[in-house]
């Protein structure tokens, strides 16, 4: 059985109150997401489920609303972000091979 992405999240040991903050405190919450190995999965869940509160995947609720408004035709953010991650990974490996 595949483990859920939350078990690898950088914030898994953080209090939930630290992620559901307002104002300037959101910058600290977003900083927790920097370098998180499952940032994309977290963001995809928040976008796909239209979660309206908290910082998810490095984005505030306001950030996510703006993104959803800009991209209203996206049906699955999980699929879109996974495809982008694969594309980025493939491009990085191609670049490594070409420079070797």
Query: Is 36 among the annotated ligand-binding positions?
Result: yes
Is 33 annotated for ligand binding?
A: yes
Residue pair 77/59 in contact by the 8 Å Cβ criterion: no
Token pair recorded at residue 66:
């703006």
3 labelled ligand-binding: no
Mark the binding-site residues, compressed into ranges: 11, 33, 36, 42
Mark the binding-site residues for [4Fe-4S] cluster, compressed into ranges: 11, 33, 36, 42
């Amino acid at each position: 059985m595949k483990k859920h992405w939350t078990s690898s999240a950088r914030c898994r040991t953080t209090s939930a109150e630290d992620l559901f903050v307002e104002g300037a405190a959101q910058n600290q919450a977003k900083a927790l997401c920097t370098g998180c190995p499952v940032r994309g999965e977290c963001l995809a869940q928040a976008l796909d489920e239209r979660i309206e509160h908290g910082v998810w995947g490095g984005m505030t609720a306001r950030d996510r609303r703006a993104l959803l408004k800009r991209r209203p035709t996206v049906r699955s953010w999980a699929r879109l972000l996974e495809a982008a991650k694969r594309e980025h990974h493939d491009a990085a490996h191609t670049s490594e091979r070409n420079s070797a």
